[in-house]
Amino acid sequence: MLLKYFYDQKLAHASYVVGCQRANVAVVVDPGRDIDQYIEMAAREGMKITAVAETHIHADYVSGARELADRVGAKLYVSDEGPAEWKYLFLDEYDHELMHDGDHFMIGNIKFDVMHTPGHTPESISFVLTDQGGGANKPMGIFTGDFVFVGSIGRPDLLEEAAGIANTAEPGARDLFQSAERFKQLPDYLQVWPAHGAGSACGKGLGAIPSSTVGYEKLFNPSLQFSDEDEFVKYILADQPEAPKYFAVMKRVNKEGPVVLGAEHHHEMLHISKLQQAVVTGTVIDLAPSPQFAKGHVPGAINIPLNMLATWAGWLVDYDRPAYLICEPSQLEEAARVLHKIGVEDIAGGFDAADVASSGLANEVYATGTPADLSHSIQSGEVTLVDVRSDAEWNEGHIERAEHHFLGRLPITVGQIPTDKKIVVQCHSGARSAVAVSVLQAAGIKNVVDLTGGYSAWAAAKLPITKPGKQEATVSSS
């Protein structure tokens, strides 16, 4: 048997190729949209990808299942568990088999037994792998998808938080408890191969190592230490990270079937003359480093540096409008791949950053200031301070007089920010606040300053901060 691990750092997504070396056939488990990596790996190993196995309808990235079925004729093994609204709608176009609890399928001499493990989603299944050509004929490991992670467990509130399906979080949590109890009955020696690692919003406290064992997780996974269902439900629904709004889009896209991109899919650089119209009709994303963007940018463009694109584009891009990129030509395809992975399908093209700079269109700027520069005006109330960190960060401590507007929700809450004073924006270190400044300027709020170093620099300077249940937790020594 051959097992290969693939990890998309930008999405914290793990996928796997499992191959039978006797039959020279392979299956991809929970594939991402960038399927060339699987095809190239299989070719190197002399194998043919004949199947895709998917644990559930994913919400955080566009699945590569349909693309593989279309490109190489892979058979789809997918869940038929859960209610009618969580069934795949594109399967009739491809060879497929619907999976239920207790079913199994074979890839050469490798057996995949299906366990229904609802909770994260109603249709979630896991695959227990046995290499029947390996001699022992005992299960080796389990592909858990978004059910059990290293050090955590899948969140049951996504359907309610991201997809807007009311009254599903608590029933999902109770389903998840029963699934967890079933997981605990598996042999301790089974390896655990999850679909996500640290940084994913599909759970809280995910570990950064790629795999574990059932026995280790039973001992040390905080989510598996509960024997009381009500206590588990209380724990699992508390303090979950913000659910990106694009998760609702992903659930629909993967259910209905994403657009097949094809092997020759690519994007074009556009003439600079089309840029101003692009600002009016679409979302223009400038990939420049934030200090560069601050010194000169196109009015109406938002700034998401390339290394932040996967994390924040799903929150800030309007999925109903075409997306345009201002970037170096060599960055266009990489950025487009990232956007396609999170379901931004209408990528209308790119504008060369050098052409933009020389055109005179990048004529808007914004100011920055350190805590020392801005502390008096912030503490006196002469400016409006906007904190764009997460709810959890805000609750741990924040600068006095700050208003909280999480960056991901800023396009929705921007109208709630008073504009009668200069606005200072801060996050923890300054990266997210720079993005937020661009969002505010694109929305027409121009008198904005970025607090460099953010909350971290403010606290390091011993300036006043407020913590829950306390007055001034830290005060200036001067």
Task: Render pLDDT for 218-266 as a digit per residue (tens, 0 to 9).
Answer: 999 999 999 999 999 999 998 887 777 788 788 889 999 999 998 888 8
Please state the rounded mean pLDDT for residues 309-327.
95
Q: Are 340 and 275 in contact (CB under 8 A)?
A: no
> Which parts of 22-136 fold into alpha helices (H)?
36-44, 65-72
CA–CA distance, 401 with 207 (Å, rounded to integer): 35
Q: Which residues pair with 2 in a beta bridge?
A: 19
Choose the weakest-confidence range: 188-192, 255-259, 285-289. Answer: 255-259
Full strand arrangement of the beta sheet holding 48-53: 2-8, 13-20, 25-29, 48-53, 75-79, 96-99
CA–CA distance, 208 with 205 (Å, rounded to integer): 9
Predicted confidence at residue 199, as pLDDT, reads: 59
Q: How many CB atoms lie within 10 A of CB 279?
A: 16
CA nearest neighbour of 14 among 38, 32, 2, 26? 32
Q: Is pTM beyond 0.75 here?
A: yes
Q: Are 153 and 224 in contact (CB under 8 A)?
A: yes
Task: Express as a percent the part of the chain with pLDDT over 70.
Answer: 94
Q: Are 69 and 76 in contact (CB under 8 A)?
A: yes
Q: Are 338 and 316 in contact (CB under 8 A)?
A: no
DSSP tag of 258: P
The structural domains of the chain, with segments of one domain joined by +, span: 2-256, 272-359, 367-474
pLDDT tens, position by position, 117-148: 999 999 999 999 999 987 678 999 999 999 99
pLDDT tens, position by position, 65-102: 999 999 999 999 999 999 888 899 999 999 999 999 99
CA 39 to chain centre: 24
**Considering just the CA atoms, what is the radius of gyration of the chain in Å?**
24
Token reading at 82: 């859960």
Residues in the chain: 478
Please state the rounded mean pLDDT for residues 288-301.
97
Q: Are 215 and 305 in contact (CB under 8 A)?
A: no
Q: Are 199 and 148 in contact (CB under 8 A)?
A: no
What's the CATH code, domain 2-256?
Answer: 3.60.15.10
State phi, psi for 179 to the nearest 5 degrees. Answer: -65, -40
CA–CA distance, 474 with 478 (Å, rounded to integer): 12
Element (H, E) at 441: helix 431-442
Active site residue 427: yes
Predicted confidence at residue 304, as pLDDT, reads: 98
Question: Which are the contacts of 248, defined by CB distance < 8 A and separation ≥ 6?
Answer: 59, 162, 163, 164
Please state the rounded mean pLDDT for residues 171-183.
96
- Common-topology check for domains 2-256 and 272-359: no
CATH class of 367-474: alpha beta
Residue 198: pLDDT band by 50, 70, 90 thresholds? low
Predicted confidence at residue 10, as pLDDT, reads: 86
DSSP tag of 2: E
Q: Are 122 and 175 in contact (CB under 8 A)?
A: yes
Architecture of domain 272-359: 3-Layer(aba) Sandwich (3.40)
Q: Look-up: residue for tokens 């409006």?
A: 384
Q: How many CB atoms lie within 10 A of CB 131?
A: 20
pLDDT tens, position by position, 412-435: 999 999 999 999 999 999 999 999
Element (H, E) at 281: helix 275-281
Please give the span between the terminal C-alpha atoms of the chain, in angstroms, as a whole number: 67
CA nearest neighbour of 431 among 307, 339, 326, 325? 307
Q: Is the pLDDT of residue 409 over 60?
A: yes
Residue 476: pLDDT band by 50, 70, 90 thresholds? very low
CA–CA distance, 435 with 285 (Å, rounded to integer): 11
Predicted confidence at residue 254, as pLDDT, reads: 94
Three-state DSSP class for 352?
Answer: strand
